[in-house]
């Protein structure tokens, strides 16, 4: 819609999403990344008595993956914001031209694979102790 809205404001002056759905989604991505960052640290704490070096390696790898997911989710939010508004997200350089393509599902796949990989490592540890 390019014409005036029922409240009299032109379409260009109104926010693209009154409900702020992209911001809520960005916050949920951050909570997920926090859980995937803290989870390996808790697991390492529980595994530390039996796997000293292995527990530290698992914790470091899991924490790095969680922080990578956080960085990817921030980049995803910026890209969605740019596609929906047609303007660069806050913090982008002034001459930046946004692409008009929404992000795909690679971040979702990564988010699903991280706990799966952690479960496979836990299974290997449990079977190795039997």
Kindly list the domain boundaries of the chain, sorted by start residue.
Answer: 19-116
> What distance lies between CA 11 and its chain's CA centroid?
31
pLDDT in tens, 18-50: 557 777 888 888 898 888 888 888 877 877 776
- Which stretches within 3-51 are classed as H helix? 21-47
- 64 has a pLDDT exceeding 80: yes
Whole-prediction pTM value? 0.67
Please give the residue that has the higher pLDDT: either 60 or 49.
60
On the question of pLDDT at 5 being above 80, the answer is no
Tokens read off for 42? 């808790």
Range in 4-18, 50-64, 77-91, 92-106 with the lowest mean pLDDT: 4-18
Give, rounded to a whole angstrom, the gap between the first and last alpha carbons of the chain: 65
Which residue from 62, 61, 67 is spatially nearest to 34, judged by alpha carbons? Answer: 67
């Amino acid at each position: 819609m390019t014409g005036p809205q029922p409240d009299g404001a032109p379409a260009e002056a109104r926010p693209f999403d009154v409900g702020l759905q992209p911001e809520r989604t960005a916050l949920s991505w951050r909570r997920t990344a926090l859980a995937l960052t803290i989870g390996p640290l808790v697991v390492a704490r529980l595994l530390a008595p039996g796997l000293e070096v292995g527990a530290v390696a698992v914790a470091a790898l899991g924490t790095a993956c969680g922080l990578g997911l956080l960085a990817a989710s921030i980049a995803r939010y910026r890209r969605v914001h740019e596609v929906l508004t047609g303007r660069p997200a806050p913090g982008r350089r002034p001459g930046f031209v946004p692409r008009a393509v929404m992000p795909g599902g690679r971040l979702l796949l990564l988010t699903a694979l991280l706990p799966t990989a952690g479960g496979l490592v836990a299974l290997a540890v449990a079977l190795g102790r039997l």
